[in-house]
Chains A and B, each alone.
Chain A
Amino acid sequence: MSTITLPTPPVLNPPASLEASASENPERLLELSLGPQHPSTHGVFRMNVVLDGERVVRLKPVFGYLHRNHEKIAENETYLGNMPYTDRLDYICSLTNNWAYALAVEKLAGIPVPERAEYLRVITAELTRLLNHAALVGFLLQDMGASGTPLMYAFREREKILDLFEALTGARMMCNYMRFGGCRVDAPAGWLDQARKVVADFPKFLDEFEKLLVSNEILMERTQGVGVLSRELAISSAISGPMARASGLNYDIRKVDCYGIYPRFSFRVPLGSHGDVYDRYMIRILEMRESLKILEQALRDIPEGPILDPKSKPRGFRPKPGECYGRIEAPKGELGFYLISDGSPNPYRYRVRPPSLINLTVLEDLCLGHNVADVVVILGSVDIVLGEVDR
């Protein structure tokens, strides 16, 4: 019989050198509250940091400023009525939120999805991944002091994709596009060609972006070796998405769960070896290139056909009692929905597994021993959106 050794609970200790100097002179320590109104904290997010000079000795994140009790609202709304609320979780990537919810409900009720709808889902999800990573890279550079220029280049490219979304779904940001059994409307005439053009022009922007920044000395000094996340800590803390892959954990839900029609597309999963901020930044640029590959394949192979399961209707959806956990690889990590149905039109329990919140578990570990200026950069590389952290 194998013996089980109980694990010791995690205790966070700042490095010995800091602890020693701090304990000699407790008046040296400065407790500072970064946020909740702060231009670089990506939303209403607060960090209580205890500093020894400029070095971080303790860091406690405080959030809940954007808590709207989305899960309780969802218990009082129908399944379809919850779809627009999922847009507002990770408000930059509304289409992947929609897909995760639609996937969870389809798994719960066993609803099939027609092929053209699956292709449209993949196309919109990968375009959303481009949107998110471009915004993130732009914001990360802005946080490092590049005062807006790379951010505006990234936003210039995002505008083209947002125009595509507006033509397809009607809205740039709160798309409300997926339905249980497919998508709401089909792509209008000329949309696919416009999408092909955007995808064909995007690599030029990525090349420019890389030339602008990849060998920039300031960037390398500020990001290499900063905020190192080890692979073991990443697995134990259930870190997902580009942050986990930067630490060497080869876990991409598109390859593991094989949801939708992802097995048809050939793409690689970039992995990092150091787990520092630089790796997380480069992984996102590489993931944008892989997304472009998927998009080219999907836009080439998309078939004609219906976009919604013929048996689905907009009103009166009542899944049979049961429960389901459905997840997708959202741009920020593993976005999962856990639904318990009791046969009524409203879900009994609706839970969002937010990647941003779970990725924040290790924020203190990453920031200890670094300067205050690095805290902002590390937070930027974690990629949080408060709508998802707080729901």
Chain B
Amino acid sequence: MIGTGILKGLAETARNFFLSYVSKDRLTTVQYPEQRLPQIEAARNFPFLVYDGAEWDAGMRCVACQICEKECPPKCIFIEKSKDKKPDAVGKPQFYPARFDIDISVCMSCQICVEVCPFDAIKMDVEFDLPTDDRFAGLMLDRHKLSKSNEYYHEIHPTEATAVDTALDAERAKAAAAKAAAAAPKPASPAATAASAASTPKPTEGESK
């Protein structure tokens, strides 16, 4: 009989409709914005600058090495180095960015800036709710708007943030040990001299390529 194929199809659609009352799998609509989907941990949207501690200005990890600016494919990062230095995450005096702007109307969320940053200073945010009525200045985020705390980073990407913190703590410990060994009085025995020479670390985070 002509039309059996269509009837079979309609039977499938009807089955889907009635089953959607019982099976969660078939009722996939999420009533946004009252309901929201849980955030997937690895999601990324635009970058943000991480700061340690309570002060965003003093605790910023960025040392204005400008590597992210060079590697950014659409060239949406604009950095200006400061004239003075302040101590960085490990305690070494470093430059800091006097101006760090990201034009998010250009940024394509490729995450290359995060990959190349040697200081774990820039990470990817998940904030997508960024409406503004000024399509030029409203989409140019300056360093104050970009700075978010390390606790916020732990909230949005817990696994990554814990790994970064572990690595930074290890570096801080190494730097502190080096300082302690350098401050210790000169030992008499050659074995102790050899031991202190071995524990002097090679300069690590201070070097920017």
Contact = CB atoms under 8 A, between A and B. Distances in A.
Interface of A: 77-78, 80-85, 149, 153, 156, 159, 163, 166-171, 174, 176, 184-185, 188, 208, 211-220, 314-315
A184 B8 contact: no
Contacts of B67: 315
A258 B90 CA distance: 50
18 contacts: A80-B112, A159-B28, A166-B42, A167-B42, A168-B42, A170-B43, A171-B43, A176-B112, A188-B41, A211-B9, A212-B13, A213-B9, A215-B4, A216-B5, A216-B8, A217-B3, A218-B6, A314-B71
A216 B41 CA distance: 42
Contacts, number: 80
A102 B67 CA distance: 23
Contacts of B193: none
Which 5 pairs from chain A and chain B are nearest by CB?
A: A84-B110, A215-B5, A81-B73, A170-B44, A216-B5
A153 B124 CA distance: 32
B135 interface: no
Contacts of A82: 73
Interface residues of B, number: 30
A188 B41 CA distance: 10
Contacts of B3: 217
B66 interface: no
Nearest to A169: B42
A167 B41 contact: yes
Given A166-B43, A174-B109, A188-B42, A314 B9 contact: no
Interface of B: 2-6, 8-9, 12-13, 16, 28, 40-44, 67, 71-73, 108-112, 115-116, 124, 159, 209
Given A166-B42, A188-B159, A208 B12 contact: yes
B4 A78 contact: no
Contacts of A81: 71-73, 112
Given A211-B12, A217-B3, 5 more contacts: A159-B28, A166-B43, A170-B44, A176-B110, A188-B159
Contacts of B16: 153, 208
B68 to A, nearest CB: 11
Contacts of B73: 77, 81-82, 84-85
A213 B13 CA distance: 11
